[in-house]
Amino acid sequence: MFRILFSLVFLPIRILFQGFRILSWIIRKGDHFYLEIPSSFSFDRKSFLVKLLVPKEEAPFLVDFLIGLKALTKVPGLKKVSFHISNPEYGFGEVWNICETIQTLNEKGIETSGFCLGGGTKALLLLSQCKHRYTSSAAEFFPILPSAEPYFFGGAAKKFGVGVEAYASGAFKSFGETFQRTSFSAPARKNLEALLTDYKELLSTGFKKSSNLDLKVLEEPIISSEKLKKIGFITEFVEEDEFEENYLFENYKKEKETDKPKYKKLSPKGFRLYHKKSNFTLISKSVPIVAVLPVQGNILPDLGREEDFRSRQVSFRYYQEIFKDLKEDPKVAAVILEMNSPGGSALVSELLYREIKKLAEKKPVITYVLNVAASGGYYLSCATQKIHGTPYSIVGSIGAVMMRFELKKLYDKFGVQKERIGFYPHRDILSEYGKLSPKSEQFLRKEVLRSRDLFYSRVIESRKTSFQELEKHYGEGRIFSGQTFRKSGFLDSCDSFLDILQNLKTELKSKKIDVRYLPGTYSWKDLVQDLKPGIQLSKFSFFSKLNAEKKQNPMEVLHLSEIAQELSGL
């Protein structure tokens, strides 16, 4: 009510500003937008102190970037988008979502061109989505197709006298094999091979569909730009500075100073101006808030009282407080968990599962698996009403495992002994000195099965399957691609993040939704934790360039939080 009253009181001023926006848009309106696809995305926001010490420009949030990219399809008169593609440091989940959004531009009849100076398979996949593809004549690409070369420390552990005991709920729960064996067991190897085969099929389909590139070409570890042009993947050679400076000209070439550009520039400021203009209403009304919460990293076993955010880690107290706040906030209509966790503590997974369940009783909560929801990550996902992902998501690992290191032989090598005093049944489980008694081994096996059964019960409730079906085909620690898991009914869809937002908007029966990304704050504690031995203070601009001016990037990356908060019609 106050919002409506406020908008009416200031209506004359708001109309005046809207008139100014309309006139400004007439002047700023362009038909060609230049955009850099960044090499990384952020899951947290730097604190003031960290920004002071390391004033490097923050990477955008994926959600904001995707919404901004999709919003380009709504700009009237837009004819072309030129993408400068950096080599991605993120996963196939982010790459696939960007590819899907570029395809939306293509389907709208907007011409797309891309430039990439080099990179791997992900960079080539992004470049393949563009109708016209450019690179330097000197460029080289270094693709690596889905494959694995894991380390095994079983031989080294035996040599040094380190014993490793693993108690797993199934043959595919193979984490302990890394420390026990010199190679994978047959079931674990077969499961990994199936996952890699799925990935290769996805890449083959993706490249064929977008550019007709045969995946066999990428089996060469070094591919020259000349070869890519010869087989028709590259449209033409241009240098990086030509692509950046001449993007308004035909074929990125400016032969003479008198040459006139073919296109008119649409700047990021003009882009924002258009969306402010198009989202103007006489009466300002509140819209439902959709909170997007990143769940990033290993699930920690810590149950302390500390509620601080931990970068790339999932701590119980922090997320418990977040879930409570989201549950009690009447403005939040729905919550999306942006899942990127390989699992961790079984206890904390169950505790957070219950917190998510409490939240889901009050409002819609869904999971979007960006790259990984394995073990505890999938456990948490089962607490939400729906689980979505990408075809490339790594999901599953449904089961439990416990590990214990036995160091007696290592101690003996150095003449170290320990004496057990006052030990009681099963106390040896808490000691690293000596083998376990048969009763203690039996106790641990029962605990693993108890954890597995609880995990299974959460999956059975969420996915409406049976214990027998789960155990026989999808449990015991098996991992799957998102595409395979969706076909089996363990994911609801493999849709893009923007499609999930659109579906949620329909479910909420609202023309607009306010998308709020909720990153944690990367504090000085996280910075200290991430410091490597021998780091030089000169890497901190605070010490070396205290009074230096920040370099301006003329080709601005989309940091369009305001557009995300005015999402409509996507």
pLDDT, tens digit (0-9, with 9 covering 90-100), for 71-125? 999 999 999 999 999 999 999 999 999 999 999 999 999 999 999 999 999 999 9
Tokens of 180: 């026990």
Reported as a single tens digit per residue, the pLDDT across 247-260 is 999 999 988 888 89
Cα Rg for the chain, rounded, in angstroms?
A: 27
Strand partners, 386: 366
Helix (H, G, I), strand (E, B) or coil at 182: coil
Q: Are 370 and 91 in contact (CB under 8 A)?
A: yes
Reported as a single tens digit per residue, the pLDDT across 295-343 is 999 999 887 766 666 677 899 999 999 999 999 999 999 999 999 999 9
Q: By CB neighbour count within 10 A (0-12 exposed, 13-18 middle, 19+ buried), where does 92 fall?
A: buried
Q: What is the pLDDT of residue 100?
A: 97
Question: What is the rounded CA–CA span in Å between residue 68 and residue 272?
Answer: 9
Tokens of 423: 């030990």
Residue 523 carries which side chain, given as an amino acid letter? S
Q: What is the pLDDT of residue 19?
A: 83
Q: What is the pLDDT of residue 182?
A: 94
- Sequence-distant (≥ 6) Cβ neighbours of residue 290 within 8 angstroms: 332, 333, 334, 335, 336, 501, 504, 508, 513, 514, 515, 516
Instruction: Mark 151-178 as b/e (b = at least 16 C-beta within 10 Å).
Output: eebbeebeeeebbbbbbbbbbbbbbbbb
DSSP 265: B
| Dihedral sign of CA atoms 186, 187, 188, 189 in order | positive
The domain limits of the chain are 19-147+210-282+528-564
- Sequence-distant (≥ 6) Cβ neighbours of residue 499 within 8 angstroms: 493
The CATH number assigned to the domain with range 19-147+210-282+528-564 reads 3.90.226.10
Question: What is the rounded CA–CA span in Å between residue 107 and residue 445?
Answer: 55
Tokens of 214: 């045969």
Question: What is the rounded CA–CA span in Å between residue 273 and residue 29?
Answer: 10
Greatest pairwise CA separation for the chain in angstroms: 92
Question: What is the rounded CA–CA span in Å between residue 336 and residue 338?
Answer: 6
Residue 488 carries which side chain, given as an amino acid letter? S
Q: What is the pLDDT of residue 306?
A: 65
Question: What is the rounded CA–CA span in Å between residue 102 and residue 130?
Answer: 7
DSSP 353: H
Q: What is the pLDDT of residue 159?
A: 94
Reported as a single tens digit per residue, the pLDDT across 411-453 is 999 999 999 999 999 999 999 999 999 999 999 999 999 999 9
Reported as a single tens digit per residue, the pLDDT across 228-282 is 999 999 999 999 999 999 999 999 998 888 889 999 999 988 898 888 888 777 7
Tokens of 358: 């409490």
Is the confidence at residue 532, as pLDDT, over 80?
Answer: no
